[in-house]
Amino acid sequence: MSATSTEEVTNILREHIMCGQIHPGERLQQERLARALGVSRTPLRTALANLANEGLLQYEANRGYTVRAFDRKDIIDGYAARAVLEGLAASSVATAGIDFSTLEKMERWLDIGDTALAKGKLDPKDIDAYRRMNVCFHDEIIARADNRWISELVRQTQLIPFASNRMIVWQDFDIMYRTHDDHHRILEALKRRDPIRADYLMREHVNFAGEYLAQCIETGRIITAPDVSASTTELVQ
């Protein structure tokens, strides 16, 4: 990865943290980071400082940067806030109506999830595509709400690792089938221009995800992306 900008480095590291590929409490070594990402120390230092300002990293003298640990309450509270905000976004989109091209695009995304779940079991090879689909689906609704406060406040909740819509616990087929069915019902409510149902379904969808994740954390059953690249493993000590 040559000539990578500070912004790109920041985005790459943020994504690894938000997806749980770099865990809370892990220390980031600048020399290893620079080598793994193929960048010089200058953009890397700026990227680390950016993530520290966002609250994802903590800096300690003589120790460097470590990934900030968030407790269970932080995560649950993050999901609770997301549920209200994304419910409002869904309600706004349903009220305004959704154009045909956007509807087609969102249906194509849901087809990706349908294809993965049609196997009747969870295939680790499908998690990246499913995660991208999930992010696109939620982000599209937020964008179509056309409310900068919703966008900005949701972004703040996304800065809590595990509370992000990038976090997928890919281990229980019935859970994934249920949550993806939520996606279809939410889109149907948007098509019908039913703001009350769209709001309710989105809140229930996000809150359920938070409750399930909390259970997984408590029982030590968290599983993140199974295809962590070799370069990712070099990012931490």
Residue 1, pLDDT > 50, answer no
223, 228, 234, 237 alpha-carbon torsion, rounded to 10°:
0
The structural architecture, per CATH, of the domain 6-69 is Orthogonal Bundle (1.10)
Please report the pLDDT score of residue 67 as a whole number: 87
Is residue 236 over pLDDT 90?
no
pLDDT band at 155 (very low <50, low <70, confident <90, very high): confident
> Is residue 62 pLDDT above 90, yes or no?
no
Asked if pLDDT for residue 224 goes beyond 60, the answer is no
Place domain 72-219 in its CATH homologous superfamily. GntR ligand-binding domain-like (1.20.120.530)
Q: In terms of Cα–Cα distance, which of 91, 107, 95, 121 is closest to 183?
A: 107
**Cα separation values, 135 from 113, 168, 176, 236, Å:** 12, 10, 15, 26
72-219 matches 6-69 in CATH topology: no
pLDDT exceeds cutoff 70 at 226:
no
Nearest residue to 98 via CA among 197, 190, 200? 190
Name every residue whose Cβ is closer than 8 Å to that of residue 220 and which is 6 or more positions away in sequence.
none
- State the average pLDDT over residues 69-78: 81
- Mean pLDDT over the full length of the chain: 85
In the prediction, which pLDDT does 24 show?
78
- pLDDT for position 231: 40
The most confident of 14-18, 54-58, 174-178, by mean pLDDT: 174-178
Q: How confident is the model over 183-204, as a mean pLDDT?
A: 98
Q: Are strands 64-67 and 27-28 parallel, antiparallel or unpaired?
A: antiparallel
For the chain, the domains span: 6-69, 72-219
Query: What is the rounded distance in angstroms from the CA atom of residue 184 to the CA atom of residue 182?
Result: 5
- Cβ pair 81, 31 in contact under 8 A: no
Decide: 14 and 56 in contact? Cβ < 8 Å: yes
pLDDT of res. 95: 98
Considering only CA atoms, which of 228, 202, 169, 194 is closest in space to residue 89? 202
Q: What is the mean pLDDT of residues 33-44?
A: 86
**What count of other Cβ atoms lies within 10 Å of the Cβ of residue 107?**
13
pLDDT for 194 equals 98
The DSSP secondary-structure symbol of 126 reads: G
Strands (E), 6-139: 27-28, 57-60, 64-67
**Residue at 90: amino acid letter:** A
Percent of the chain past pLDDT 70, that is, above it, reads 88
Q: Has residue 184 got a pLDDT over 60?
A: yes
Q: What is the pLDDT of residue 232?
A: 40
User: HSE (CB half, 13 Å, CA atoms) of 4?
Assistant: 25
